[in-house]
Amino acid sequence: MQPLDFSTVIQTLTQNAQNVWMPHFFPEVVVCVTIVLILLASICLKRTARTTFALALIGLLVALCGIGSQLNVVGSGVSANPGEYFGGVLIWDGFTVPVRGMLLLFAILALSLSGSTMKFGARDATDFYTLLLGSTLGLLVLAQSNNLLMAFVGFEMASIPGYALVGFQRHRLRSSEASLKYLLYGAAASGVMLYGISLLSGLTGTLSVSQLGSHVAAIGSQATGATASHAVIFSLLLIFVGFAFKLSLVPFHFWAPDAFEGASAEVAGFLSVGGKVATFSLLVRMSLALSGSMTGEAAKLVLPLGIGLGVVAMASVTFGNLAAYFQKNVKRLLAYSTIAHSGYMLMAVAALLVLRSPEGASSGIDVKQVTQQCIEGLVFYLFVYVFMNIGAFGLTALMRNHFGSEDLEGVKGFGRVFPIHGACLVVCVFSLVGLPPLGGFWGKFVVFYSLFMASKISTFMMVVLLVGGLNTVFSLFYYIGILKAVFLGEPREGSSSLVAASSENGLAMLIALPILLLGMFPGAATDFASEMARSLVR
Amino acid sequence: MDPLCYLSLLIFLPTLGAIILFGFPSKAVDAMRVFTAAITGVVFLMTLQLWLGGSFNPVLGTIQPVQEGVSVPWIASWNIHYRLGYDGLSLPLVVLTGFVSFLSAIASWSIQKLHKGYFILFLLLVTGMLGVFLALDFFLFYVFWEVMLLPMYFLIGVWGGPRREYAAIKFFLYTLVGSVLMLVAMLMLYFASGREFSLIGLAQQAAAGKFSSFEQTVAFILLFIGFAIKVPCVPVHTWLPDAHVEAPTPISMILAGVLLKMGGYGILRIAFPLCPLGAYYSSYALVAIGVVSIIYGAFAALAQTDFKRLVAYSSVSHMGYVTLGIGVWKLSEAHGIDFWLQGVSGAMFQMIAHGVSSTGMFFMVGVIYDRVHHRDLNQFGGLMGRMPLYSGLAAGIFFAGLGLPGLCGFIGEVAVVISTWNYDPLLAIIAASGVVLTAGYILWTMQRVYLGASYKGPHSEEIDHMPFTAREAFVGFTLLIAAIYLGVYPSVVFDVMDATLKGSLETLEKAVATVGK
Amino acid sequence: MTGDPLSILVWLSAIFFLCGFLCMIVKRNVIGMLIGVELILNAANINFVAFGQLSRLGIDGQIATLFVIVLAAAEAAVALAITLVFYNSHSTIDADRGESLRG
Amino acid sequence: MNDFLFVALAVIAALGAISVVLCRKVVHMAASLIVALSSVAGIFFSLNANFVGATQLMVYVGGTVILLIFGVMLTSMSAKAELKTTPIEAIAALASSVLLLLVFTFTVGSVSWSEHFKLLAGDAAVPKNLVEQGSSSFSSVALALVGVRTDQPNAHSYLLPFEIISIHLLVVLVAAGYLARPRGTQQEADSTAE
């Protein structure tokens, strides 16, 4: 036991602050400070919704700039000293830095959107932005956690403000009901996940994600391995429940339609995207750890795990698309589309596991390269998804503001009255379908390609690929339902005099343009994504 | 001018026009009409320049202006190139696209609502079509293929007839199914070839036997279904009558005149060269599908009472000759590829001829529909007396569709039927009987619509209020002249494509022959 | 079951988990369900402390428990607030009464 | 003696948890929960995890459960409110519990833990029994929370979660405050979209 005096502790703290907090976790620090500032400002300054909004926006922008200055870690990696921090609780490398950038960018979009479309009083605005930033902070933590406990903390930090955000419109019956359902399902899922974490950490003796693989492998190679391996699978399943909940994968998707319909469209957009980006980042890390260093008995787990994920992915995609077909409410429809898109993204992870299984290693493919390819596809998909989904939900918010309805019946002719909004909606929706030359197509393309590579290892992945492809066609039915209402329907009497604010038009185009650009010139983005993958898989 | 710039300008000039159209005030309808017509006119002239401007050498039979196509890297990490070029296969279709676009832009005068949106989408559609024919990178091809879908959906869905929404979604859905299958095939070949998207490169690899026969067969089936939907071949043709009937006249013209040709073009440009073995194994199926399409389309046309639906089914029947002509591939010691070459040339010619004649037929239906607001064949009759000029032009064009010697429809059909004889005499006889059926329904239609006592049906007074305008006459005359010209002087098309077809068929033959018969 | 304290604790936590899980299924009352969640979280806590004190996990286990306790408290606070809002608008805390969101 | 206490506490805790499920009245459930959680706290003490045990007692038993009881009272569910279970639900519950028990038996339950760790660790870090645990666990826990690990030099330091959770609590406070705030106080609050 080493001597412990107060000065040692203080010294450690300051060292941490100087060497770790500021250079590496500047964005998180800024977000924390912004939250405090917003609350302080609401006490000291004259409260207006605008000041709070400006504060939050500036905070996020500064944080994003912080990310910008760290981006040199991507690819090169060496000079910027990537690695595990806080004794391995967090990881900071060429993968997490851009993912955090993505999250911040997304938070900025969500913030600007709610700033321009939600009308609330100063006091409510303070609360809303605080919750939004708090949730974002949780997502940031989740995305870079390298420790299962930290991941759980991140999950909760992102979710708990989310519960409140869903119930933010207290005067609406549906809002409170939605938030209650979200809360109950969410709490149960996180409890189950935590139980899984506790078992897994007990079995392996570590909470570290990056050491998970080697520890699991160690279990598998010993005499008590068989039963312990079963226990490991069981605990992994429990943990996956938490992931699946956050990603609204079938069969843990129940909350999504209710929560998204009850929440305002802005909040629904925020919840549908943010959680995915952060959770997939962690899921990829876990999958890599589990599949990478395993040998012997334990390695046999990897292929079934990949196939299992493939099954879940197929179920999500199919169910999401089928259920969306019957929806009359745009938000609910988009909620089901979110479920389907989670499925598509999960396909990339499934392919990754299959390719990294021992069967993949022995088939003569370059495992490292194909792994990178899978991650590249997933990252690109997520990046496009940030824009296209927030765009779709944002335009739903605009429909609500201008037409007072979020039902397919009620928004007829929206695109004719507001041609710019309509055009942006076309871009978002067709990108969600996955048609070129829009970003969503390229996202699907790269994911399908990784499935195709995986199908060389396991023919089952070809089935997944075909199901995914066919679902793209199914999905057209309901997506086109939105466009049909918005363009082919006749606008209501008197709506032709409505005019969109130029700020709304600007924001809509700001979201639609990247989708178009990512579709037409995906080169830079895919290159960047593959650099990210390269810094993850060395 | 640098060929890459020239081709890009050709493709994207309509897009540019669409962007400029955004700036037009919504009230300036005439200005938009003229502007669109001018843009498409320039596009037509540019396509003619490709053909007649001296840059195209028909004897070469390779991709021009440069062997591998002019290209710049597009998405380098995926080895995707923005690669353009044309040869004897695509050039006639490019010119046809320019021609039909120009005429249907003129025919678009009849559009009554939301003009700005219409013309913007129309121009985007033209970009997509030209892109499909000029792209030499599989990925680029796919992108243009889909780009064309979006405007088409809206053009049918917003400006179409009463059941427009149904027709639009059906069209969209069918094409999307096809393109998803194409996507899977594309991934397969990309993977098997070691990350290659260039159509020429892929074709070379296929010819060198790099793809296994299993891969080729699967890929061919996927690709063929995708293209067959567009052609349309019989089991997957059901989108066509709906889309044609509900689409506004100029869009029907484009659909029939250009879009259907993309199917045939795709088969010849992609499905065959990339999977020669698969194509060879499936040739009998192709021929059978072609024959069934011919007969089924003709019988279905006979049964129609809707004028436009009849013309639509006649397209199914006529395009059947294309599938048939492409499919008559039989390795034979005696004749080599002669008969097959004749079939494919006939199919190509049939595509061009059908592009002219069916465009004309749809236009003629549209002209009369604008006046009497119905298409019921049983209520027509005696238009000849009321509108002699119109009826004369229409008769000429319908005769072209019928396949009367001296008009464009004749040559392709005859060439295809003759080469089929070599493949399977029975099928040839059946296909030939399709010609008789075609004559039957077209003559019967002409009798029901144009002949007889003077028209007294619904809205007969409108015919006097709206005389046959010079604009309409111009479109009609142009199409008729084109039909006659192609009928009398078919070698204008054959000259362009002979060398190319011969070269590519020989390559295919070699690729299959090396594997063994 | 052996007399090994670790086994006893793991089984105890399994019972907690099971009871919590059953509470979530059986109880229709929101408070009842939240109690179920608390049980599940406690199951994890027992595991953490047990593995921490009796096996390799070390003080990580205790720390995890501390965090879980704090997070559970925070979650409970928000949960109660949401329950109140729900109660104010629906005059019930029977979770099955929320019928407006179905389909 | 210690072992006996340990087993007794475990049994009480288990019974408490089971009675939470079986009780029909919310208040009874809460009471059983208190029993269960307190016994768990006792177990923590007997495992030498004093800090955690104390926290469990203060925060969990003293705070969370009280919150829940507040919830029961505030929503004026009469304290006697009964929660009926339909037969179908009972059967479903029974089936799922049997299923879960089976899963537990064949996975976690069948691991022979002492054997497992002996093989796994191979190092001296694994304590053999309760007494061997360092009595310093309180200070080492506290120090790990501020980033200094005394037991293993390169292990996880929990400074970050410790710090960041304070922000989280702040946000949660805001959330709870917002939701609990009466609506009437601010008119513009009602002009929220839609």
Q: For A82-96, A275-289, B388-402, which range has the lowest pLDDT when averaged over its residues? A: A82-96
**Residue A251, preceding peptide bond in cis (omega within 30° of 0):** yes
Residue A448: its chain B contacts at CB < 8 A? 183-184, 187
Q: Using the predicted structure, report yes or no on whether residue C99 has a pLDDT greater than 60.
A: no
> Taking CB atoms and an 8 Å limit, are C21 and D100 in contact across chains?
yes
Across B203-215, average pLDDT: 87
pLDDT, position C1: 41
> Taking CB atoms and an 8 Å limit, are C85 and A149 in contact across chains?
no
Q: Are D3 and D69 members of one domain?
A: yes
Residue ranges of C 75-94 with Cβ closer than 8 A to chain D:
76-78, 80-85, 87, 93
pLDDT tier for residue D136 given thresholds of 50, 70 and 90: low
Q: Are D57 and D97 members of one domain?
A: no
pTM summary value: 0.91
Q: What is the ipTM of this complex?
A: 0.87
> Taking CB atoms and an 8 Å limit, are D168 and A397 in contact across chains?
no
Question: Residues A254-293, buried b or exposed e (16+ Cβ, 10 A)?
Answer: ebbbbbbbbbbbbbbbbbbbbbbbbbbbbbbbbbbbbbbb
Residue A530: its chain B contacts at CB < 8 A? 77
Chain D interface includes A13 (CB < 8 A) = yes
Residues in chain C, overall count: 103
Nearest CB among D119, D159, D176 relative to A86 is that of: D159
| DSSP letter, residue A491 | P
pLDDT, position B130: 93
- For residue D129, what are the domain limits? 88-133
> Taking CB atoms and an 8 Å limit, are D147 and A86 in contact across chains?
yes
- For residue B329, what are the domain limits? 3-516
Choose from A195, A232, A327 for mutation: most chain C CBs within 10 A.
A195
Chains that touch C (3 or more CB pairs under 8 A): A, D
CA angle, B220 then B222 then B223, to 5° = 65
Distance from CA of A172 to the nearest CA of B (A): 35
Q: Give dist(CA B133, CA B11) in Å, integer.
A: 10
pLDDT, position D126: 45
Top mean pLDDT of A184-193, B207-216, B336-345 is at A184-193
Nearest C-alpha in A relative to C85: A176
* Residue, of B245 and A360, whose pLDDT is higher: B245
> Taking CB atoms and an 8 Å limit, are B146 and A452 in contact across chains?
no
CA angle, A133 then A135 then A141, to 5° = 105
Mean pLDDT, chain A, whole residue set: 86
Q: What whole-number percentage of chain A has pLDDT above 70?
A: 94
Of the residues D98, D117, D133, which one is the last residue of a structural domain? D133
| Structural tokens at position A27 | 């964005």
Across A21-27, average pLDDT: 80
Residue D172: its chain C contacts at CB < 8 A? 74, 77-78
pLDDT, position C97: 59
CA distances from B229 to B179, B251, B255 (A): 10, 18, 13
Contacts of C39 (CB under 8 A, 6+ apart): C16, C17, C19, C20, C23, D17, D20, D33, D36
pLDDT, position A74: 75
pLDDT, position A3: 52
**Structural domain count of chain D:** 3
> Taking CB atoms and an 8 Å limit, are D59 and C85 in contact across chains?
no
Q: Give dist(CA B335, CA B331) in Å, integer.
A: 9
Give a yes or no: residue D194 inside a domain: no
pLDDT tier for residue D194 given thresholds of 50, 70 and 90: very low
Across B230-238, average pLDDT: 88
Mean pLDDT, chain D, whole residue set: 75
Q: Using the predicted structure, report yes or no on whether residue D190 has a pLDDT greater than 70.
A: no
- Name the percent of chain B in helix, strand, coil, to the closest 5: 75, 5, 20
Residue D90: its chain C contacts at CB < 8 A? 26
Residue C56: its chain A contacts at CB < 8 A? 205-206
> Taking CB atoms and an 8 Å limit, are A201 and C78 in contact across chains?
no
Chain A interface includes D136 (CB < 8 A) = yes
* Residue, of B363 and D83, whose pLDDT is higher: B363
Is the alpha carbon torsion for A308, A310, A313, A317 positive or negative?
negative
CA distances from A167 to A49, A128, A260, A356 (A): 19, 11, 11, 42
pLDDT, position B254: 92
Chain C meets chain B (3+ C-beta pairs below 8 A): no
Across B245-263, average pLDDT: 91
pLDDT, position B37: 93
Nearest C-alpha in A relative to D103: A234
pLDDT, position D83: 55
> Taking CB atoms and an 8 Å limit, are C37 and A194 in contact across chains?
no
Beta strands in B50-175 (DSSP E): 70-75, 80-84
The single residue listed with the structure tokens 């595991």 is: C47
Q: Give dist(CA B132, CA B130) in Å, integer.
A: 5
pLDDT tier for residue B235 given thresholds of 50, 70 and 90: confident
Q: What whole-number percentage of chain B has pLDDT above 70?
A: 99
pLDDT, position A106: 93
pLDDT, position A269: 92
Mean pLDDT, chain C, whole residue set: 83
> Taking CB atoms and an 8 Å limit, are D116 and A203 in contact across chains?
yes
Residue B184: its chain A contacts at CB < 8 A? 448, 465-466, 469
Q: Using the predicted structure, report yes or no on whether residue A28 has a pLDDT greater than 70.
A: yes
**Residue B276, preceding peptide bond in cis (omega within 30° of 0):** no
Give a yes or no: residue D20 inside a domain: yes
Give a yes or no: residue D193 inside a domain: no
Q: Using the predicted structure, report yes or no on whether residue D118 has a pLDDT greater than 70.
A: no
Chain D interface includes C40 (CB < 8 A) = no
User: Per residue in B350-374, pLDDT tens?
Assistant: 999 999 999 999 999 998 888 888 8
Of the residues D133, D152, D169, which one is the last residue of a structural domain? D133
Q: Using the predicted structure, report yes or no on whether residue A92 has a pLDDT greater than 80.
A: yes
Q: Give dist(CA A466, CA A469) in Å, integer.
A: 5
Distance from CA of A326 to the nearest CA of C (A): 9
Residue A477: its chain B contacts at CB < 8 A? 169, 173
The single residue listed with the structure tokens 């999960």 is: A346
Across D6-29, average pLDDT: 89
Across A171-184, average pLDDT: 86
pLDDT, position D77: 56
* Residue, of A422 and B453, whose pLDDT is higher: A422
**Residue A340's Cα: distance from chain center in Å?**
14
> Taking CB atoms and an 8 Å limit, are C33 and A184 in contact across chains?
yes
Q: Give dist(CA B69, CA B49) in Å, integer.
A: 18
pLDDT, position D137: 65
Residue B174: its chain A contacts at CB < 8 A? none
Across B2-11, average pLDDT: 89
Chain A interface includes D190 (CB < 8 A) = yes
Q: Using the predicted structure, report yes or no on whether residue A48 has a pLDDT greater than 80.
A: no
Nearest CB among D107, D154, D188 relative to A234 is that of: D107
User: Per residue in B280-290, pLDDT tens?
Assistant: 888 889 999 99
* Residue, of B1 and A310, whose pLDDT is higher: A310
Nearest C-alpha in D relative to C83: D71
Chain B meets chain A (3+ C-beta pairs below 8 A): yes
Q: Are D64 and D97 members of one domain?
A: no
Residue ranges of D 96-155 with Cβ closer than 8 A to chain C:
96-97, 100-101, 104, 108-109, 112-114, 117, 120-121, 125-127, 130, 133, 137, 140-141, 144-145, 151-152, 155
Q: Give dist(CA B186, CA A436) in Å, integer.
A: 14
* Residue, of A75 and A131, whose pLDDT is higher: A131
pLDDT, position D154: 61
Q: Are D126 and D148 members of one domain?
A: no
Q: Are D55 and D27 members of one domain?
A: yes
pLDDT, position A346: 94
Chain A interface includes B214 (CB < 8 A) = no
CA angle, A274 then A276 then A278, to 5° = 70
pLDDT, position C96: 63
Nearest CB among A16, A141, A235 relative to D164 is that of: A141
What is the Cα gyration radius of chain B?
A: 22
User: Number of Cβ pairs closer than 8 Å across A and D?
Assistant: 190
**Structural domain count of chain B:** 1
Nearest CB among A202, A257, A258 relative to C47 is that of: A202
Q: Using the predicted structure, report yes or no on whether residue D104 has a pLDDT greater than 90.
A: no
A-side interface with C, Cβ within 8 Å? 149, 152-153, 156, 160, 163-164, 167, 170, 173-174, 176-181, 183-184, 187-188, 191-192, 194-195, 197-199, 201-202, 205-207, 257-258, 261-262, 326-327, 332
Q: Using the predicted structure, report yes or no on whether residue A199 has a pLDDT greater than 70.
A: yes
Nearest CB among D148, D190, D191 relative to A8 is that of: D148
Q: Are D26 and D54 members of one domain?
A: yes
Q: What phi and psi, each to the nearest 5 degrees, are found at residue D79?
A: -55, -15
Across D72-79, average pLDDT: 62
> Taking CB atoms and an 8 Å limit, are D167 and A137 in contact across chains?
yes
Which H or E run includes A133? helix A122-144
Mean pLDDT, chain B, whole residue set: 88
User: Per residue in B463-490, pLDDT tens?
Assistant: 777 788 888 889 999 999 999 999 888 8
Give a yes or no: residue D192 inside a domain: no
Q: For A319-323, B78-82, D111-115, which range has the lowest pLDDT when averaged over its residues? A: D111-115
Distance from CA of B167 to the nearest CA of A (A): 12
User: Per residue in C6-18, pLDDT tens?
Assistant: 888 888 999 999 9
**Residue B472's Cα: distance from chain center in Å?**
22
Q: What phi and psi, each to the nearest 5 degrees, are found at residue B247?
A: -65, 150
Q: Give dist(CA D30, CA D24) in Å, integer.
A: 11
Q: Using the predicted structure, report yes or no on whether residue D177 has a pLDDT greater than 90.
A: no
Q: What whole-number percentage of chain D has pLDDT above 90?
A: 14
* Upper half-sphere CA count for residue A13 (Cβ side, 13 Å): 13
Chain D interface includes C97 (CB < 8 A) = no
User: Per residue in A439-497, pLDDT tens?
Assistant: 999 999 999 999 988 888 888 998 999 899 889 888 888 898 888 888 887 887 777 77
